[in-house]
Chains A and B, each alone.
Chain A
Amino acid sequence: MSRFAQFGPKLRQYGASSARMFLYCAIPTACFIHTVFDYAGEITPSYGPSMLPTLNMAGDMLMIERLPGWRKRLRVGDLVAFTTPYDPGRRAVKRLLAEAGDTVCVDPKSKHPAFVLVPKGHVWLQGDNYNNSTDSRVYGPIPLGLLHGRVTWCVWPSPRRISNGADILPGRFSDS
């Protein structure tokens, strides 16, 4: 630790200017943190009513895990973070309801329910608050390439593990 603490003063001792100090210390540090966020996981705030009651309307800080191979560890019932297909700048959190090859009933309450076969490389995502959620019922199946990671923990304000919710999903058919 002390060696790292001496790193800055030592550079200055060698005659490094402030600009060079910034170049050698701040930029690599920022890039290091960013790389950890990109390849291991990150902590981000979440907003919106679509995941009630699992997540709050506002103020929850979520731990998003994306260690190598996270896509292969995804299971039906996991919470995932993804980019919305209609707005590349918006991210959202939803629950994974079906994987490629499954057949999903879009709205079981309608008179003529539509059924969708989830294509290869896609998943079906829905919010827990079915009445107030823009999800695969609007977007259709989501390509796996839009997924960012799996939500594993809510770290703030009340730390808790976000468990797989497959047991609370109503009417899941394993074979269609």
Chain B
Amino acid sequence: MTSGTAKAFWRKAALAAVVAAPVAIFVTDHVVSLQMINGRSMQPALNPDSNRLRRDVVLVDRTVQGEMAPGRLRRGDIVTLVSPFDPDLLLVKRIIAMPHDCVVPLGKPTSFVRVPKGHCWVEGDESFHSGDSSSFGPVSLALIRGRALTPVWPPSRFGASLAGLPEWKKARVYANGTHPLTEL
């Protein structure tokens, strides 16, 4: 390869990078991205292996942010959201209740919480190792940054289903404050 063609090659590669970088940033911010999961708050759906070095990487749908959130999210979806107490911390939790639902908080079986407009109730699947709505209350849907679709790493976990609200949690949620989810 002569130096002229090498120069042309690098120039082309640099141009391709300049053109591709903003597209890549846009896609990972607003379309789809990958997220590594830390901690055991979502066991057994995510990080089923308790070895801390074997962490799941999940594919995240980023089109559920902002004004899209109320229409595109459902009870039972696993979402990534900004911690209400630390803007630099991203939490991964499951949505238990959507706006206008009633929830019986964990550990307070005689009380009710009405989830306000534009808010949701999120809990980790391993509720006893999880800082979630049981401790900080309903969170705004505007804090949600994405919806987990499926694990992509380790490869053996590719395509594993993340769906499902445990039955004992369904019994604690009243859709629109009237009917328990177990009856719907």
Contacting residues, chain A, for B177 (C-beta < 8 A): none
Q: Is A24 an interface residue (CB 8 A)?
A: yes
Q: What 0/1 readout, one digit per residue, does chain B (11-25) give for beta carbons within 8 Å of chain A?
A: 000000001101101
Which residues of the other chain, A, contact B69 by a CB distance below 8 angstroms? 88
Interface-centre pick from A38, A83, A84, A120 (highest chain B CB count, 10 A): A83
Known contacts A120-B85, A122-B84, A143-B143; decide if A88 and B66 are in contact (CB<8 Å).
yes
B contact residues around A146 at 8 Å (CB):
140, 142-143
* Residues of the B chain whose Cβ atoms lie less than 8 Å from the Cβ of A89: 66-67
Determine the distance from Cα of A87 to Cα of B117 in the docked complex, in whole angstroms: 7
Q: Which of A35, A38, A85, A143 contacts B118 (CB 8 A)?
A: A85
Inter-subunit contact A143/B66 (CB<8 Å):
no
Interface size on A, residues (CB 8 A): 25
Question: A127: shortest Cβ distance to chain B, in Å?
Answer: 19
Q: Are A34 and B84 in contact (CB under 8 A)?
A: no
Query: Is B166 an interface residue, CB under 8 A from the partner?
Result: no
A119-B85, A120-B85, A145-B83 known; A88-B23 Cβ under 8 A: no
Set B20, B70, B82, B84: member contacting A88, Cβ < 8 A: B70
Q: Say yes or no: is B116 at the interface (Cβ < 8 Å to chain A).
A: yes
User: Of B23, B66, B83, which contacts A83 at CB under 8 A?
Assistant: B66
Which of A25-33, A55-63, A105-113, A153-161 lies on the face that meets chain B?
A25-33
In the complex, what residue of chain A is closest to B18 when comparing beta carbons?
A28
Known: A89-B67, A121-B83. A31 touches B26 (CB 8 A): yes
B167 at the interface (CB under 8 A from A): no
A:111-161 near B, CB below 8 Å: 119-122, 143-147
B4 at the interface (CB under 8 A from A): no
Contact of A121 with B22 in the complex, beta carbons under 8 Å: no
Task: Tell me if A144 and B87 are in contact (CB < 8 A).
Answer: yes
Chain A residue with the shortest CB-CB distance to B65: A88
Distance in Å from the Cβ of A33 to the closest Cβ of chain B?
8
Instruction: Give the residues in chain A near B183, CB-CB below 8 Å.
Output: none
Contact in complex: B26, A86 (CB < 8 Å): no
| A71: Cβ under 8 A from any B Cβ | yes
Assembly CA distance A147 to B84 (angstroms): 11
Q: How far is the CA of A120 from the CA of B139 in the complex (A)?
A: 15
Known: A86-B119, A88-B142, A89-B67. A27 touches B23 (CB 8 A): yes
The 7 A-B residue pairs with the shortest CB-CB distance in the complex, in nearest-first order: A89-B67, A145-B82, A121-B85, A88-B142, A85-B140, A31-B22, A32-B22
B residues contacting A by CB (< 8 A) are 19-20, 22-23, 25-26, 29, 66-67, 69-70, 82-87, 116-119, 139-144
In the complex, besides A122-B85, A143-B87, 7 extra interface pairs with C-beta distance below 8 angstroms are: A31-B26, A34-B26, A120-B86, A143-B85, A145-B84, A145-B87, A147-B87
Pairs A–B under 8 Å by Cβ, sample size 5: A31-B25, A32-B22, A84-B142, A86-B117, A145-B87
Write the residues of chain A forming the contact surface with B, with a CB cutoff of 8 angstroms.
24, 27-28, 31-32, 34-35, 38, 71, 83-89, 119-122, 143-147
